[in-house]
Structure 1
Amino acid sequence: MAPTRQRSGSRATRSVRGRRPAAARKRTGNAPARRKALRRRWVAVLSVLTVLGLGYTVGFTELLAVRSIEVSGTDRIEQATVLDLAAIPRLRPMVRADTDGIEQRIAKVPQVERVVVSRTWPSTITIEITERHPVAYFVAHDGIRLVDRAGVPFHEVGKRPKKLPRLKVETVAASDQATGAAMRVLTAIPDKLRKRVTEVSADTGNSVELRLTKGKVVRWGNAAQIERKAQVLGALLSRPGEYYDVSSPELPTVR
């Protein structure tokens, strides 16, 4: 029986030895996949760290900070006033400059019609201002105010401007129909005619009147057909008279 046991043990030994190379081959075959997965993990970690580093650099360091502020478009408004309202700390990170907040603060200045604040990389904040320009004046109970083309009263003056016409309406406001019609007519008529206007008035949006030099009065009506009415009025003014009605330009009258 001893020889039989020896043969069985020999077969078992050969069987065990035969399995070891297969396991080793499996481990060897998985090694490239493990290395590839490990590389992917490191790439992901490095990417996250890079993004965090860039975010910290841009948002919390002076590398991309505000070093200069450029203001353009100011004529009547002092640049110092604009800078004070902007209130941008030097060396504040550019991305943390509140451009919307800056615009809102500067827009509160009555003389400002429009303001745009932008970033000019790497280190400049640009403030572009459009000022209101007076085209008439309004006499209020508490003073004299300049009025822009939109009908917005924006600046108080001590005396009546000699080169601007007076605006006479019940309530001066951009949303007021009478104000809007009067200002549309005044700003759309030819320069030659506008220079002769001493007063523009309206009770409603359909009742605009112009007072010209030498005491002439023009009943204009509404703000429609401005170009046509101006042409008709230009021809009528060559005739003697004190009252000119072009509210219906096809049927003008003079008296």
Structure 2
Amino acid sequence: AGAGQGSPASGAGQRPPASAQRTPEPGSHGPETGSIRINSGKVSVMGAENRSTSATKDPSAPLPKREGKSATPAVPRGRKTAEAKPAARARPAAKAGKQRKAVTPSSAESKSRTIVAFPESPRRKLRRRLWIGGVTAVVLFIALLAVLVFSPVLAIQTVSVSGTDLTRKEALVEALQPLKGKPLPQVTDQDVKALLTNFPAVDDVAVEAKPPSELGVRVVEHVPVAVLKTGKKFALINADGKRLATVGKRGDAELPLIDGSTAGEDPEIFRTLTAVLAALPQDVLAKLEHASAKTVDSVELQLTNGKKVIWGNADQLELKARVFEALLKAKQPEGGIQVYDVSTPTRPVTR
């Protein structure tokens, strides 16, 4: 018996090696139920569902799957994964009663048959036509304006001048020659006036376009109120004392005469004389021969028939002018009137 314990040939009572395992028989699909697998000191019992229960747990081994639950790996509490969000946001299935009905060709055809096309209302049609017509008119107007302003079709070829008495028309036409070639709509009153600054009698101008190529210029001149005698020359002056033009003889202008020495000696007296004469109408000025003054308060006028007018100062010019005009038109008393005193217009005196 002692010799039998140490004999290697004896297989009774000896444990099979650790690496030994049952080999499945040919034709079988895996370990049989209840078979034992011995591997590296681990004993596993194979069940009916090929699940192994390890005697020694391996921390690195994956958790076994459970039947009846999702195969999604467990997520630690408090964390959310990208795969879990869509499931959380998934809406519950609609109830059977609220599910949309599928649109079949027959139902779509029946709906199309129920659509009725109503004719456009007359008011809406009129509004649309007016809108289209308005837009078209604006576009045509802009195009026409562009043609008129920038096209050489309306270029100036001739210039005509009217309204001049103190200035020669030929001289004005010659001064306006630089305007030739410019389109008529581009020429303004300021453009014409800028070319006539060398003519003192011209006060203002008005431009008139005469298509296709003529520019009309109407001149407004200063109104002369007196004739200023300087030596042997006679000049027409306005209310500001500005010299407008010259005349060859005293009789060429039916205006009162002012001695030029007065203007040179005392400009204030000269301004007073011109202001008094400017207040009188043209028909009255034509009856005056001379105007003089020694001071600003002693203005005197002399008529062409030799009668005298005591005017006084430059106060109440309009009232004095109306009173003096009324006295001239009034019936003359016997013996006539030699002196008209309107220095106090509310109490005029004649003698």
TM-score range (shorter-chain normalised) is 0.5 to 0.7
Structure 2 partner of 1:171: 267
Q: Please identify runs of 4+ aligned residues in structure 1 that moved more than 6 A.
A: 22-26, 39-48, 213-216
d(CA) in 1 for partners of 2:174, 2:247? 26
Residues 189, 205 of structure 2: 8 Å contact kept: no
Superposed displacement of residue 126, structure 1: 1.4
Residues 151, 183 of structure 1: 8 Å contact kept: no
Residues 182, 202 of structure 1: 8 Å contact kept: no
Residues 103, 117 of structure 1: 8 Å contact kept: no
RMSD: 4.9
User: Of the two structures, which has the highest relative contact order with CA contacts closer than 8 Å and spacing of 6 or more?
Assistant: 1
> 1:190 and 1:108, CA in 2 relative to 1: closer, same or farther beyond 3 A?
closer
TM-score normalised over the length of structure 2: 0.47
Show CA shifts across 1:54-96 (max 9, x none).
2331222123333432211234423333234435533422221
> 1:88 and 1:178, CA in 2 relative to 1: closer, same or farther beyond 3 A?
same
Determine which structure has the larger helix proportion and give its number.
Answer: 1
Confirm or deny that 1:94 pairs with 2:184. Answer: yes
Moved more, 157-166 or 88-97: 157-166
Superposed displacement of residue 40, structure 1: 11
Show CA shifts across 1:207-227 (max 9, x none).
320245798754233541212
Residues 146, 155 of structure 1: 8 Å contact kept: yes
Corresponding residue SS for 1:127: strand
The alignment covers a number of residue pairs equal to 226
Structure 2 partner of 1:17: 105
> 1:50 and 1:233, CA in 2 relative to 1: closer, same or farther beyond 3 A?
closer
Higher CA-based Rg: 2
Structure 2 partner of 1:181: 276
TM-score normalised over the length of structure 1: 0.60
Residues 222, 244 of structure 2: 8 Å contact kept: no
Superposed displacement of residue 135, structure 1: 4.5
Q: What amino acid maps onto 1:171 in structure 2? A: P
Residues 69, 125 of structure 1: 8 Å contact kept: yes
Q: What amino acid maps onto 1:119 in structure 2? A: A
Structure 2 partner of 1:73: 163
Which residue of the other structure, out of 135, 150, 153, is the alignment partner of 1:60? 150
Superposed displacement of residue 127, structure 1: 0.8
> 1:94 and 1:20, CA in 2 relative to 1: closer, same or farther beyond 3 A?
farther
d(CA) in 1 for partners of 2:180, 2:190? 18
Residues 186, 200 of structure 1: 8 Å contact kept: no
d(CA) in 1 for partners of 2:112, 2:178? 67
Moved more, 132-141 or 219-228: 132-141
> 1:237 and 1:71, CA in 2 relative to 1: closer, same or farther beyond 3 A?
farther
Corresponding residue SS for 1:126: strand
Structure 1 partner of 2:56: none
Moved more, 53-62 or 179-188: 179-188
Which residue of the other structure, out of 199, 206, 218, is the alignment partner of 1:109? 199
Q: What amino acid maps onto 1:18 in structure 2? A: S
> 1:133 and 1:93, CA in 2 relative to 1: closer, same or farther beyond 3 A?
same
Q: Which segments of 5 or more consecutive residues in structure 2 lack a partner in the other structure?
A: 1-101
d(CA) in 2 for partners of 1:213, 1:47? 66
